[in-house]
A and B are shown apart, each in its own frame.
Chain A
Amino acid sequence: MLNYATKRAFIAILTLLVASLVVFAMLEIVPGDPARLMLGMNATEDAIHNLQEQMGLNQPLAIRYFSWLGGLLTGDLGRSYTYSVPVFDLIMERVAVSLPLAAISLALSTFIALPVGIFAASKRGKFSDTLAMGVAQVGVAIPNFWFALLLVYLFAVTLRLVPAGGFPGWGAGFGVSIKSLILPSIALALPQAAILARITRSALLEVLGEDYIRTARAKGLSRRQVLYRHALRNALIPVLTILGLQFAFLLAGTIIIENVFYLPGLGRLVFQAITQRDLIVVEGVVMLLIATLVLVNLLVDLSYAIVDPRLRGRS
């Protein structure tokens, strides 16, 4: 187990290192000098030169990479060119919106998808199964941002139950803040729930076709007992992988949904940074998201090994 964990962790670190190289290299080839950008058009050559010196822009590429990487490890992501505040602070402020949004959506989609998937599998081939999977099939095809628009039209514009967009900030009170996250999380969660329900159903059906299930039935266990005691546990392994991946997609998905609801999260930050060519912010957010993805995948891999000892031997 320890061996397996070390190997997985090593691969995760390697992935992050290569990712940091790719991100650094990509933003290195962008035309335009940050110092020039920060000081504006009227700056003197001397002032630009001084700032370049101060920011370390005139140092060799390799040195700049390693000092950036060192910064990443200590939580120093540099200073935003446009806001002139540390990128780390900027990101933390926005994570306070994006992370709860992604987490609520993940919980919501899991709570909807698992029961629906299990129900459909237990009624395989019956009308209720066909209906549930038909709805899921349509759900998979719905873009979340369009669904969000429909929700805004129905619940915010027509019924006026919730705000159409914006975020008061956690300081304004938990209730109002959560209220403005309701529609965004439903919009994010439902299409994901459709995918998860389909996967849960097919994973369960696959397991139900195994010999040991027939054995369990043959020795006299009821269908329910077999379903919940034997099948469900084994079916949860593929479901767990997808949950890990879904968290990643939800976090990335918040980038788009935040734009529908004007939420001041990571997504809005990235788009503002792109239009203002504030690339150091883009770098920071992208690295943070990738690190989260890699970490989540690592945790999923490790939790497998705990759930299923057979996987420990494999690399």
Chain B
Amino acid sequence: MNIGKALANRSFCIGLIVTSVIALVALLSFVWTPYPVGAFDIAGKLKPPSAAHLLGTDHFGRDILSMIMVGSRNSIAVASVSVAIGAGIGVPLGLWGAATGGFVDEVLMRLNDLVFAFPALLSAVMITAVFGPGAINAIIAIGIFNIPVFARVARAAALSLWSREFVIAAGAIGKSPARITRDHILPNLASLLIVQATIQFSLGILAEAGLSYVGLGSQPPMPSWGRMLFEAQTMIGLAPHMALFPGLAIVITVLGLNLLGDGLRDMLDPRFQ
């Protein structure tokens, strides 16, 4: 992939800029926010956007911009760990299935279907019913859902590589399936897996927001976009800005990631060139 081609891809450019800005804002929130997130100011509650509070204040008088900035860390952390869980377990399983075939492959794929039958939300509900709500349990639930996704993508792509001549040649000179997988299959899958990771990352952000919204995700006092929306719900008539901005934060982040993923796929997939 060369830089000129990357710059010519509009989705990729916009996606990259948006995602970078959000990542920078999340980093910035560690050292600076306009106001401390724990600062209550009951006298200044439910204020619409103004010069002092760019995005207004919530029902405790907390600065919404500061909470959105700190909340981004939570979204990013949950989404990235659950992508890591999904890729870390799913990719090896998919590669293993493709390399061995037969019975192992069949069992792995049926297990995949089984996990797939549980929507992320449903497994999150179960996990919280058993272990109680919290960010860790949200990560586990979303991570489990990611496993079959990565396993399928890795397996399907690996299977088509296994019939390619350079892989057959590697087998002919005596390389073991494990070494072929490591030396030839995995490097050729990397770009596809990066695209999938971007997509799952954005789905993870949406899922985390949904879980926090219904109270199954991260718990107070850690700010999270989903819970900010939950708190905004009862105030919707009084302070619609409380609902507007955290939602926009989610939409912009997810949109940026999706554009980045689409752009990457267009550049990496030879069919689109």
Point out residues on A near B: beta carbons under 8 Å: 11, 14-15, 18-19, 23, 26-27, 29-30, 137-138, 140-143, 145-146, 149-150, 152-153, 157, 248-249, 252-253, 255-256, 259-260, 270-271, 273-274, 279, 282, 286, 289-290, 293-294, 297
From B119, B127, B247, give the contact of A146 (CB < 8 A): B247
Q: Digit string of B51-71 for contact with A (CB within 8 Å is 1, else 0)?
A: 000000000000000000000
Residues of chain B within 8 A (CB-CB) of A273 are 129
Q: Known contacts A149-B229, A153-B236: does B126 contact A286 (CB below 8 Å)?
A: yes
Q: Known contacts A29-B130, A137-B258, A157-B236: does B117 contact A286 (CB below 8 Å)?
A: no
Q: Known contacts A255-B121, A282-B129, A286-B122: does B259 contact A137 (CB below 8 Å)?
A: yes
Please count how many residues in chain B sit with their CB below 8 Å of the partner chain's CB atoms. Answer: 39
A-B CB pair tally, cutoff 8 Å: 111
- B36 in the interface (beta carbon within 8 A): no
Cα-based distance from A271 to B121 in the complex (angstroms)? 12
> Is there an interface contact between A271 and B214, defined as CB atoms closer than 8 Å?
yes
> Is there an interface contact between B125 and A14, defined as CB atoms closer than 8 Å?
no
> Is there an interface contact between A152 and B214, defined as CB atoms closer than 8 Å?
no
5 cross-chain CB contacts under 8 A: A15-B114, A18-B114, A259-B213, A282-B126, A286-B125
CB distance from A209 to the nearest CB of B (A): 9
> Is there an interface contact between B119 and A249, defined as CB atoms closer than 8 Å?
yes
Residues of chain A within 8 A (CB-CB) of B119 are 248-249, 252, 289, 293
Cα-based distance from A143 to B126 in the complex (angstroms)? 22
> Is there an interface contact between A279 and B129, defined as CB atoms closer than 8 Å?
yes
From B121, B127, B252, give the contact of A256 (CB < 8 A): B121
> Is there an interface contact between B255 and A145, defined as CB atoms closer than 8 Å?
no
Residues of chain A within 8 A (CB-CB) of B185 are none
> Is there an interface contact between B121 and A137, defined as CB atoms closer than 8 Å?
no
From B114, B126, B243, B252, give the contact of A153 (CB < 8 A): B243
From B233, B252, B254, give the contact of A149 (CB < 8 A): B233
- B240 in the interface (beta carbon within 8 A): yes
- B76 in the interface (beta carbon within 8 A): no
CB distance from A191 to the nearest CB of B (A): 9
> Is there an interface contact between A143 and B206, defined as CB atoms closer than 8 Å?
yes
From B122, B206, B214, B246, give the contact of A259 (CB < 8 A): B214
Q: Known contacts A270-B125, A290-B122: does B130 contact A30 (CB below 8 Å)?
A: yes
By CB atoms of chain A within 10 A, which of B126, B240, B243 has the most? Answer: B126
Q: Digit string of B202-214 for contact with A (CB within 8 Å is 1, else 0)?
A: 1000100110011
Residues of chain B within 8 A (CB-CB) of A14 are 110
> Is there an interface contact between B117 and A274, defined as CB atoms closer than 8 Å?
no
By CB atoms of chain B within 10 A, which of A146, A150, A253, A271 has the most? Answer: A146
Cα-based distance from A286 to B124 in the complex (angstroms)? 11
- B237 in the interface (beta carbon within 8 A): yes
Residues of chain A within 8 A (CB-CB) of B237 are 153, 157
14 more A-B residue pairs beyond the given contacts A137-B255, A153-B236, A252-B122, with a C-beta to C-beta distance below 8 A? A26-B130, A138-B251, A143-B213, A143-B250, A145-B229, A146-B250, A149-B247, A248-B119, A255-B125, A259-B214, A274-B125, A274-B129, A286-B125, A290-B122
Residues of chain B within 8 A (CB-CB) of A149 are 229, 232-233, 236, 243, 247
